Amino acid sequence: MTYTPNNLYQFFSRVLPKVTADLPRPFRMEGVQRVDDTPQHKAVREAFTNAIIHSDLLMDAGILRVEKHNDKLCFRNPGLLKLPVEMIYEGGNSMARNPKIQNMLRMIGYGENVGSGFPTIISAWKDAHWGEPELKNKFEIDEVELVLPVPNNRNRHASDTINDGLNDGLNDRLNDSVMTTYNIISSNPGIQGKDIADISRKSIPTIDRHIAILIKEGLIEHRDSKKTGGYYAK
């Protein structure tokens, strides 16, 4: 992915959605609203903002780069770390090289975690079972590189698409769309088919097919009652 912006704001605002677009978004509800933000999305924003605010903009060579690969995200910025790598892994923080840019990011809503500890990123990746983030001080080229392993659709951990209570074999039989319907029902006991369609943005006939599959698999049941009607996960 290559993008040459006219200014830093355009770089940040246009590249960030591209970087996070393919990250898994397990279905989660807070009340009646779907929440798409995950700890992993927050960790990527943290990595991106840290690369910006710690870039050495006075270097004659070097460039801030964000690389998106099939199996990883790479954030590279000119200028070496101010602290030893070991201290950063333990949560040590140093002052931003670019405090005015840091303040700008805060003003557009990305400042809550700017400059926070690297363990935040490690924790998000550990929780998702995506491997160990790797932070490198590349002395030979005066550059810092952060590599975040990201599973692709073929090797993504089962917990990204189904609840912990389901076995791995189930994910082989049911596609992601059906599992999204299951997750909606699990999070909203008693939900009606039309409401599932609204939340998932699928047609009612499609949801009806998903429900039939889930009932056949023994994962949900329908309670035909005025007081406790709707679909329930078993």
Which residues neighbour 177 within 8 Å (Cβ) at sequence distance 6 or greater? 202, 206, 210
In this structure, the answer to whether residues 15 and 127 fall within a common structural domain is: yes
In this structure, the answer to whether residues 68 and 119 fall within a common structural domain is: yes
Query: 3-class SS at 74?
Result: strand
**Is the pLDDT at 110 greater than 80, yes or no?**
no
**Is the pLDDT at 75 greater than 90, yes or no?**
yes
Does residue 86 lie in a domain region?
A: yes
Does residue 1 lie in a domain region?
A: no
Q: In the chain, what percentage of residues exceed pLDDT 70?
A: 78
Q: Which residues form the domain of 168?
A: 161-233
Does residue 3 lie in a domain region?
A: no
**Is the pLDDT at 146 greater than 70, yes or no?**
yes
Domain end: 83, 118, 149, which one?
Answer: 149
**Is the pLDDT at 13 greater than 70, yes or no?**
yes
Give per-residue pLDDT as tens, 17-68: 888 888 877 656 666 566 667 889 989 998 998 899 999 988 877 788 999 9
In this structure, the answer to whether residues 179 and 228 fall within a common structural domain is: yes
In this structure, the answer to whether residues 40 and 65 fall within a common structural domain is: yes
Query: To the nearest whole number, what is the mean pLDDT of the chain?
Result: 79
**Is the pLDDT at 195 greater than 50, yes or no?**
yes
Number of domains within the chain: 2
Domain end: 129, 149, 169, which one?
Answer: 149
In this structure, the answer to whether residues 74 and 129 fall within a common structural domain is: yes
Domain end: 89, 122, 149, which one?
Answer: 149
Cα 28 to Cα 154, 171, 179: the distances in Å are: 22, 18, 13
Tokens of 218: 């023994």
Residue 149: what pLDDT?
A: 92
In this structure, the answer to whether residues 141 and 205 fall within a common structural domain is: no
What's the chain's length in residues?
A: 234
Give per-residue pLDDT as tens, 196-228: 888 888 889 999 999 999 998 888 999 887 666
Work out the average pLDDT over 142-147.
94
Domain with residue 225: its CATH number is: 1.10.10.10
**Is the pLDDT at 163 greater than 70, yes or no?**
no
**Is the pLDDT at 158 greater than 80, yes or no?**
no
Does residue 114 lie in a domain region?
A: yes
Which residues neighbour 116 within 8 Å (Cβ) at sequence distance 6 or greater? 46, 93
Cβ-contact 3, 64 below 8 angstroms: no
**Is the pLDDT at 12 greater than 70, yes or no?**
yes
The pTM score is: 0.61
Q: Which residues does residue 67 pair with via DSSP β-bridges, in sequence order?
A: 74
Residue 227: what pLDDT?
A: 65
Residue with the bigger pLDDT between 13 and 210: it is 210
In this structure, the answer to whether residues 102 and 26 fall within a common structural domain is: yes
